[in-house]
């Protein structure tokens, strides 16, 4: 099997996930990847169903635990292309701790966060990125808390690649996915998408009227300028593109025995090699 195939989904007609799945297939194909070379790790949620619907290797784990599973897969087999597909609730809520600390570790994975600003699988509670004051079926008086800013957090924590795109702009999304996959290190791509069933505020039109590609003259190497872009939101326009990028050693680069030689999964293990260490315990 050399081509990426997609399958019938359980997503609502009009869901932004369709655009993301289509762009993912295009990005992998245009990069010349093969299905057996790719692993998608996911947690729980509508976005987390992505590995069910495309012909790649997949790991579907616990809510919020897509990142550590993806990181472990990459460390065990550095030759694989590892992608984490996750919703904003799964990543910035339940998985917030893993999100922050994988930024610090800089494991070489591409992290695609489907951000529809609502919990879609569990019937429409406010997620970490739902706007303060927005009413939902659960928060009927409006959300009480400040909106989480994932891009500002990632930049602050030292992420080596931070980008944003929109599910309704296929060409832009494909280009961002390809850039994230090719980046050496942890790459966060926050993807805005509508949830047509539970979020009646941030609709396809709402996003389309506000997203603005970052000017081509912008250089994504200045952390303070990236921080400013991360804070542009709403009616003032939402910049999409690569906000910040830098080259740093990855997790595997920092550990010589991981960096050198075959991937861990291919190395031969002989229990007899442990005998020399057992002497210390006798």
> What is the Cα gyration radius of the chain?
20
- Please give the span between the terminal C-alpha atoms of the chain, in angstroms, as a whole number: 52
- pLDDT digit string, tens, across residues 122-143: 889 999 999 999 999 999 999 9
Output the pLDDT for position 160: 98
CA dist 164 to 74, 96, 178, 264, Å? 23, 18, 13, 33
Cα 206 to Cα 126: distance, rounded to the nearest angstrom: 18
What's the average model confidence in pLDDT over 202-210? Answer: 97
- Give me the mean pLDDT over the 182-205 stretch: 97
Per-residue pLDDT at 270: 83
Sheet holding 110-115, edge to edge: 57-60, 38-42, 81-87, 110-115, 187-192, 161-166, 238-245, 211-213
Helix (H) or strand (E) holding 115: strand 110-115
- In the prediction, which pLDDT does 16 show? 97
Least confident of 80-84, 146-150, 178-182, 278-282: 278-282
The residue-averaged pLDDT of 84-105 equals 96
Whether 7 is covered by a domain: the verdict is: no
pLDDT at 235 exceeding the cut of 60: yes
257, part of any domain = yes
Distances (CA, A) of 210 to 78, 112, 114, 204, 275: 39, 21, 17, 10, 64
Residue 24 lies in a domain: yes
- The domain in which residue 23 lies consists of 16-281
Answer yes or no: is pLDDT of 269 > 70.
Answer: yes
- pLDDT level of residue 246 (50, 70, 90 thresholds): very high
The residue whose two tokens read 């904003």 is: 88
pLDDT, residue 239, reads 98
Taking the C-alpha atoms of residue 200 and residue 196, their distance in angstroms, rounded to an integer, is 7
The sign of the CA dihedral 113, 115, 121, 122 is positive
pLDDT in tens, 49-72: 999 999 999 999 999 999 999 999
5 falls within a domain: no
Helix (H) or strand (E) holding 102: helix 96-105
Q: What is the pLDDT of residue 123?
A: 87
The share of the chain scoring above pLDDT 90, in percent, equals 92
**Does residue 10 sit within a domain?**
no
Does 1 score more than 80 pLDDT? no
DSSP 11: S
| pLDDT value of residue 278 | 82
Average pLDDT in the chain = 95
Higher pLDDT, 280 or 90: 90
**What is the number of domains present in the chain?**
1
Classified as helix, coil or strand, 42 is strand
- Exposed, middle or buried by CB within 10 Å (0-12, 13-18, 19+), for 2? exposed
Residue 227 has pLDDT above 80, yes or no: yes
Question: In this structure, what token pair is assigned to residue 74?
Answer: 């990459």
Strand blocks (E) in 126-206: 161-166, 187-192
Q: What is the pTM of this model?
A: 0.95
- CB within 8 Å of 210: residues ≥ 6 apart: 234, 235, 237, 238
Task: Copy the structure tokens of residue 149.
Answer: 């800013």
- In a domain, residue 155? The reply is yes
Q: Using 50, 70 and 90 to split pLDDT, how confident is the model at 87? A: very high
For 18-52, the pLDDT digits (tens) are: 999 999 999 999 999 999 999 999 999 999 999 99
**120 contacts 20 by C-beta, under 8 angstroms:** no
Q: Do the domain assignments include residue 54? A: yes
CATH number, domain at 83? 3.40.50.970
**Residue 26 falls inside a structural domain:** yes
């Amino acid at each position: 099997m050399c081509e990426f195939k997609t399958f019938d989904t359980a997503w609502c007609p009009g869901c932004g996930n369709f655009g993301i799945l289509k762009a993912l297939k295009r990005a992998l194909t245009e990069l010349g990847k093969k299905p057996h070379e790719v692993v998608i790790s996911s947690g729980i949620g509508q976005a987390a169903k992505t590995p069910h619907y495309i012909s790649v290797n997949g790991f579907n784990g616990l809510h919020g635990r897509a990142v550590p599973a993806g990181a472990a897969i990459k460390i065990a087999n550095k030759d694989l292309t590892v992608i984490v597909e996750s919703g904003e609730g799964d990543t910035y809520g339940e998985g917030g701790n893993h999100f922050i600390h994988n930024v610090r570790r800089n494991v070489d994975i591409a992290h695609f966060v489907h951000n529809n600003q609502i919990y879609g699988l569990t019937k429409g509670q406010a997620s970490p990125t739902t706007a303060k004051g927005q009413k939902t079926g659960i928060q009927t008086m409006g959300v009480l808390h400040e909106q989480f800013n994932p891009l500002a957090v990632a930049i602050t924590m030292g992420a080596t690649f931070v980008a944003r795109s929109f599910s309704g702009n296929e060409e832009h999304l494909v280009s961002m996915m390809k850039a994230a996959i090719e980046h050496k290190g942890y790459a966060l791509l926050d993807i805005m998408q509508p949830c047509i069933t539970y979020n009646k505020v941030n609709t396809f039109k709402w996003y389309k009227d506000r997203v603005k590609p970052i000017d081509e003259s912008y250089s994504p190497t200045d952390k303070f300028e990236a921080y400013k872009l991360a804070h542009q939101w709403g009616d003032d326009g939402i910049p999409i593109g690569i906000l910040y990028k830098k080259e740093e050693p990855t997790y595997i680069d920092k550990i010589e025995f991981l960096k050198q030689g075959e991937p861990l999964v291919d190395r031969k293990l002989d229990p007899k090699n442990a005998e020399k260490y057992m002497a210390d315990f006798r």
